[in-house]
Structure 1
Amino acid sequence: YEEMTMKEIGATLDLSESRVSQMHSSIIARLKAQMNTRKKEFAIR
């Protein structure tokens, strides 16, 4: 779904643009939390 707007993704998945945005925010927050707990594994040397 790269290069697609939230509205386009919603139409493709039969979801509202608002729901797609909520899901996106939730997923990004979970990814950030995972990255923060594993900082040492992802450290650039």
Structure 2
Amino acid sequence: MWAHVSLSKKPAYGFKLKRYLHLVVEQQLAKYLNKCHRLVSVPS
């Protein structure tokens, strides 16, 4: 309950946090996809 109240008081912080997490997830996903693409494209 307290966390909800403090978050609602700081919408900008929550927005920045969400944006940051989204960027991190996108970067990790891009790295993972790039790795998979390399594994697939390079014949063993």
Same fold by TM-score, threshold 0.5 exceeded? yes
User: Percent of counterpart pairs with the same letter?
Assistant: 10
Asked whether 1:14 is paired with 2:18, we answer: no
Structure 2 residue identity aligned to 1:29? L
Which runs of 4 or more aligned residues in structure 1 lie more than 6 Å from their structure 2 counterparts after TM superposition? none
> Residue in 2 aligned with 1:30?
24
Q: Unaligned regions of 5+ residues in structure 1, if any?
A: 1-10
Larger radius of gyration: 2
Q: Unaligned regions of 5+ residues in structure 2, if any?
A: 38-44
Length-normalised TM-score, structure 1 = 0.59
Number of positions where the alignment pairs a residue of Structure 1 with one of Structure 2: 31
Question: Which structure shows the bigger proportion of residues in helix conformation?
Answer: 2
Length-normalised TM-score, structure 2 = 0.60
